[in-house]
Every structure is written in C-alpha cells, then in structure tokens.
A and B are shown apart, each in its own frame.
Chain A
Amino acid sequence: MSVPSAGNMAPPTSRGFRIRFVLRLFLAFAAGAVVLFAIFHFVLSRPFTGDYAGVFHALRNLSVFLRPVIATSVLVYVLLMCGATGALCVYGLHKVAGPLYRLERVMEEFRAGSPTRTVSFREGDQIQALVQAFNAWVGNLRQERVRWIASMEKAERECLQGEEACRARMEEALRQLVADLSRFR
C-alpha cells in the first residue's frame, strides 16, 4: 500500500500563520533598526563647540571612542533581537509544537493501553491534518473493536439455544474475526 506523499496534501500550516510570523519577524527587525539608529543618533548628535582646535579634538576623540560605542550598541541590538526572535519562536511555533506535544502524550497513553482520548485543538493550532488523521485512525480502530466484540457477544447469546448452535456460532464469529483482522499488516 502506498503512503501519500507530503506533496499531495494541503500545507500543515495556514497562510495566515505564515504571514503573521513573517510580519512579526519584520516588525522586530524594524524595531531593532530604530533602536540602533536611536543609540547612534544620541551619541553622535552632540553639537560641535569651540574653535577649530576644539572641533578637531572632538572628532579625534570620537574616532577613538567609536569602537566601544559601536560594540555596545551592536550588543544591545543583538540582545534585543535575540530576545524578540526567541519569544517569537517560542510563542509562534507553539502552534505547531503544542499539538505535536499533546499528540505524543496521547500516543504514549495509547501504547500503555490506557483509555485514549481524542487530541483536541486550541485556537490557532496548526498541523490539524496530522491530529485529525490520528483521531480518525484511533476512532476507526475503536469502531472495529466495538463491532468485533458485538459479534462475539452475539455468538454468546446463541448459547441459550443449545450447545451445538452456540459452538457453531462462536466458531463462525472467530472466522469472521480472522477475516476482518487479516487486512491489517
């Protein structure tokens, strides 16, 4: 049986999510540029005072102090931007990581044999196709299991009509169960 490739499916993230993330990223970088500009403007906007020698020395001193000024302002920019993009990654990608995390927890319960609940969505959650596919798989298995149990219990009820009929009905139910289960591989 072939497994559908990713190319045949709708993107797991919505267009709105993608656009919002990129816009926020651009907004953060614009804000960072404004902060950097403000620092440089503040440092470099002191008016020249005095005569020729005073201005000459002011410019020479500025050249000397330029390195720490630039280093500090770049450090401020880097810290601000790393914080902003880090927050954006944590908050923005939570819409992908959150459902993935919840799905993984439910899958652990499923493997442990505990009663499995369906994975729920929160507002704005992405990768809904994946979660729906898991819920559909478990839901389908559960329906099948209910049907198999119902078939076995129906055979048990035949026992009221006599041992012969009961055994024949049970064996038929078993053969039906084998036929149903043979599609799993």
Chain B
Amino acid sequence: MKAGSARPERKFRRKIRYVNPRLQGGAALVFSGMIVAGGVLFGSLVYRDVGKALWAAAMRGHYMFETPYEIVRNALLWHLAGLSATVACLSAGVFFFLLRAIHRGIGRVTGVLRGSEEGELSTPTDAGGLTEFSRFGEVVDAARGDTLQRIVAIREEAASLAASGLPPEAFRPRWDELKRKVREIAP
C-alpha cells in the first residue's frame, strides 16, 4: 500500500487588487466618461455622414457598388480613426494629469516624512493633488502628531524628574514609568 504522500499545504490567498476605490475607481470613471462621450460623438457623426451617403447613393440611381460598405467606407474609416485618436490622446492626457497629481501628493508626503526623520513633526503635510493624497496626508500627520505628543510628554516628565530632587522611594516609580513611556515610542 502506498504510504500517504505528504503534500505540501498550499495556501490560497486571494490577492485583492481593488484596494483604493477613490484612486482606482476614480480614474476608471474619468476614462469611462471620456469613452462614453467619444462613443456618443462618434455615433452621431457616423449616423449623420453614413446616412447621408446611403441616401445620396439611393437617390443617384446608378450603382457602381457591390455592397453598402463600399459606399460608406471612407466616412466610416475616418470617423473610426478620429474616435480612436481622440479618445486615446485624451486618455493619455488624463493619465499624465493623474500622474502629475500623484507626483505632487506623494512628493509632498515623502518630503514631510524625510523632514520627520530630522525631528520636524508639526509642519502639516498639506498634500495637494488628489483628495486621496490629502486624506493620506492627514493620516501621516496624525501619526506624526501622536509621536510628537508622546515625545513632548516624555521630555516634560524627564525635565521635571531631573529637577525634582525627590527622595529615592518617590523617584524610582516615576523613573520606571518614564522608561515604560520611552519604550512605547516606535514599538
């Protein structure tokens, strides 16, 4: 009898891609809006020009064409090329606008975090660009603010304890409490 083979247990973790509805969903909505506008414009122009071409061919009365496609080919191809070029160029423009906004927002937050490394914890991030980055900047500010609050509390307690001249039995518990507070910084 074949011994039960020890299969390596595989972990199936579903990777969630849609993690930021404001950024990902917002960009998708802007692109979709452009596509809908381009499609409507294309439809109305094609309806006007192709309809006119078919009507003119019907009225002319002598047909040199084997299929309706041959009648409308030029108008159709031009409109298709126009639609593709317009929507593609507008989308590229929107994408680069989005990148610029990401660059501004992320650049500002990165700068603030680099400043925090040198001890600057109170300057607000004020991340411009997209609303998402303003919100993210507020999260960063909150984390920096909490850290500063802890540091200020420790500094005041340390200064007060150093100058207190308390007897050892009162000094030691405050010293231990201060040590515990210092341990809470960036755990």
Contacts and interface: CB of A to CB of B under 8 A. Distances in A.
A182 B155 contact: yes
Interface in A53-96: 55-56, 58-60, 62-63, 66-67, 70-71, 74-75, 77-78, 81-82, 85-86, 89-91, 93-94, 96
Nearest to A101: B19
Contacts of A116: 186-187
Given A4-B114, A100-B20, A48 B54 contact: no
Given A22-B95, A82-B36, A85-B32, A133 B113 contact: yes
A135 B113 CA distance: 9
A100 B136 CA distance: 8
B158 A174 contact: yes
A30 interface: yes
B74 to A, nearest CB: 13
* Dominant secondary structure at the A interface: helix
Contacts, number: 272
Contacts of B87: 29, 81
A82 B54 contact: no
A21 B55 CA distance: 43
A182 B175 CA distance: 19
A179 to B, nearest CB: 9
A94 B24 contact: yes
A94 B19 contact: yes
Interface in A105-121: 107-108, 110-111, 113-116
A59 B68 contact: yes
Given A85-B35, A90-B28, A181-B151, A111 B69 contact: no
A29 B106 CA distance: 29
A25 B88 contact: yes
A141 B185 contact: yes
Given A89-B24, A167-B171, A174-B162, A82 B32 contact: yes
Range class of the A interface residue count? 35 or more
Interface string A167-185: 1001100110110011111
Contacts of A111: 142-143, 146
Contacts of B154: 177, 181
A77 B40 CA distance: 11
A47 interface: yes
A52 B61 contact: yes
Interface in B138-187: 139-140, 142-143, 146-148, 151-152, 154-155, 158-159, 161-162, 168, 171, 175, 178-179, 182-187
B1 interface: no
Interface of B: 17-20, 23-25, 27-28, 31-32, 35-36, 39-40, 42-43, 46-47, 50-51, 54-55, 57-58, 61, 63, 65-69, 72, 76-77, 80-81, 83-84, 87-88, 91-92, 95, 99, 102-104, 106-123, 132, 136, 139-140, 142-143, 146-148, 151-152, 154-155, 158-159, 161-162, 168, 171, 175, 178-179, 182-187
